[in-house]
């Protein structure tokens, strides 16, 4: 298979991208679960176990990201080039005045401390929500449901705050010369889309295998509406960021697009096809929203499209681009993705029940019917 060479080679980066991608799927699933809990949404209750198990990769993925950050801080891996001590040395040829002005925020001890807070916080809320949910299934207690609600509210508040800094630290700081006030919301919308896409694919698969018996076209239709609206939200942020940069023509901001155009040509525009154009025109039909094959295909396409998006966010800012090799991309996706799938189905196998009967809205979810299907 032919390779396309672009400047420096950094094989660790494709694995960092893969780890970040699959971790974002789990974080998106947990965020969606938290939203369903605090909104007291009835239709989605039968899908809560699926959301919980997709979130089960969070402890592994987020710890792997932290290990990558530690290896960078120890000068073993070179992804975050701002960790190079020469950048803040006035007598060095690599001295970077722009970076030095940001050193109060971008310094290794504070960076790792913030990352530790993200890691411990996300793991804590994942384990807490799953534990209370398991207890609720057994007890059918309204008090346990209130605890689940309160814990979900706390998680949403926590995550809405730390996700902004998490995205700044783990992606935007790859290029300390560039900044965007819209960037965190843009990436967060991608997390939600990938999370819902994987929830949809997993639910359809389990239903076809006879495990998720209450799942039907009515629930699929609502998931499809989230996919449709989520792709619009992501496109809104994409267009807003591009339009503001183009209109303002501020060099330190426009460089984001110039660099990606130079390295990967028009990838920034081509990824609109799987992430917006196809989902928009396919899912705009109410009939298509309840078609298992169509929704499964669109969900899979969105997962591919948002991997391209995350690749485009990270790769160009690591040593100004590196060798693009499809074999390395496939290898990293199979390695991390295989581990992700293994953890997912291992948790499904260990789970004694794939139901949320203890939830007071369970019957509403089981009997849910969308009136226009």
153-196 pLDDT, tens digit per residue, is 999 999 999 999 999 999 999 988 888 888 999 999 999 999 99
Which of 298-309 are b and which e, b meaning 16 or more Cβ less than 10 Å from the residue's Cβ? bbebbbebbbbb
- What's the CA gap between 196 and 350, in Å, rounded? 23
Q: Indicate the DSSP class of residue 54.
A: H
Number of domains in the chain: 1
Identify which has the larger pLDDT, 89 or 153.
Answer: 153
Q: Give CA angle at 111 (109, 115), nearest 5°.
A: 115
Report if residue 372 sits inside a domain. Answer: no
Give the residue among 163, 149, 154 at the shortest CA–CA distance from 23. Answer: 163
| pLDDT, position 8 | 44
Please measure the distance between the N-terminal and C-terminal CA atoms of the chain and give it in whole angstroms. 47
Position 53 pLDDT exceeds 90: yes
CA dihedral over 275, 276, 277, 279, signed as positive or negative: positive
Q: Give CA angle at 320 (319, 322), nearest 5°.
A: 75
Report if residue 58 sits inside a domain. Answer: yes
Report if residue 5 sits inside a domain. Answer: no
* 370 close to 224: Cβ distance less than 8 angstroms: no
Tokens of 180: 């965007």
Q: Give CA angle at 314 (311, 316), nearest 5°.
A: 95
Report if residue 371 sits inside a domain. Answer: no
**Helix segments in the chain, DSSP class H:** 11-38, 48-54, 58-73, 97-100, 108-139, 142-170, 183-208, 217-248, 251-264, 267-270, 272, 278-283, 286-289, 292-314, 326-350, 362-366
Position 255 pLDDT exceeds 60: yes
Angle between helices 183-208 and 11-38 (to 10 degrees): 80
Domain that holds residue 299: 11-366
Averaged pLDDT for residues 299-314: 94
Reported as a single tens digit per residue, the pLDDT across 95-144 is: 888 888 888 888 999 999 999 999 999 999 999 999 999 999 888 899 99
What is the percentage of the chain residues whose pLDDT exceeds 70? Answer: 95
How does residue 11 score in pLDDT terms, banded at 50, 70 and 90? confident
| pLDDT, position 5 | 39
How does residue 324 score in pLDDT terms, banded at 50, 70 and 90? low
CA dihedral over 196, 119, 237, 19, signed as positive or negative: negative
- What's the CA gap between 53 and 26, in Å, rounded? 9
- What's the CA gap between 48 and 32, in Å, rounded? 10
Angle between helices 217-248 and 292-314 (to 10 degrees): 30
Tokens of 206: 């389990």
How does residue 353 score in pLDDT terms, banded at 50, 70 and 90? confident
- What's the CA gap between 221 and 102, in Å, rounded? 47
- What's the CA gap between 20 and 22, in Å, rounded? 6
- What's the CA gap between 370 and 220, in Å, rounded? 10
């Amino acid at each position: 298979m032919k390779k396309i060479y672009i400047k420096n080679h950094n094989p660790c980066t494709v694995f960092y991208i893969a780890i970040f991608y699959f971790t974002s799927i789990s974080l998106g699933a947990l965020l969606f679960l938290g939203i369903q809990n605090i909104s007291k949404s009835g239709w989605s209750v039968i899908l809560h176990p699926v959301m919980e198990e997709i979130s089960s990769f969070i402890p592994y993925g987020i710890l792997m990201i932290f290990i990558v950050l530690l290896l960078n801080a120890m000068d073993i891996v070179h992804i975050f080039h701002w960790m190079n001590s020469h950048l803040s040395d006035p007598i060095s040829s690599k001295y970077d005045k722009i970076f030095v002005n940001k050193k109060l925020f971008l310094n290794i001890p504070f960076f790792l401390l913030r990352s530790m807070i993200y890691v411990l916080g996300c793991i804590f809320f994942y384990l807490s929500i799953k534990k209370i949910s398991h207890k609720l299934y057994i007890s059918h207690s309204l008090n346990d449901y209130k605890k689940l609600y309160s814990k979900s509210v706390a998680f949403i508040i926590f995550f809405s705050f730390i996700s902004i800094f998490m995205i700044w630290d783990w992606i935007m700081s790859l290029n300390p010369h560039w900044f965007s006030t819209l960037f965190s919301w843009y990436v967060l919308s991608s997390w939600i889309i990938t999370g819902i896409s994987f929830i949809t694919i997993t639910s359809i698969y389990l239903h076809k295998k006879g495990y998720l018996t209450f799942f039907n076209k009515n629930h699929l239709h609502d998931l499809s509406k989230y996919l449709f609206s989520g792709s619009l939200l992501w496109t809104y942020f994409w267009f807003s960021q591009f339009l503001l940069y183009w209109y303002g023509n501020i060099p330190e901001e426009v460089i984001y697009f110039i660099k990606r155009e130079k390295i990967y040509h028009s990838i920034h525009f081509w990824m609109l096809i799987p992430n917006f154009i196809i989902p928009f025109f396919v899912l705009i039909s109410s009939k298509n929203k309840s078609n298992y094959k169509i929704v499964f295909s669109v969900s899979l396409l969105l997962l591919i499209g948002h991997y391209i998006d995350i690749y485009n966010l990270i790769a160009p800012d690591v040593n100004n681009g590196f060798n693009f090799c499809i074999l390395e991309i496939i290898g990293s996706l199979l390695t991390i993705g295989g581990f992700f799938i293994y953890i997912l189905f291992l948790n499904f196998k260990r789970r004694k029940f794939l139901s949320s009967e203890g939830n007071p809205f369970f019957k509403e979810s089981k009997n849910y019917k969308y009136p226009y299907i």
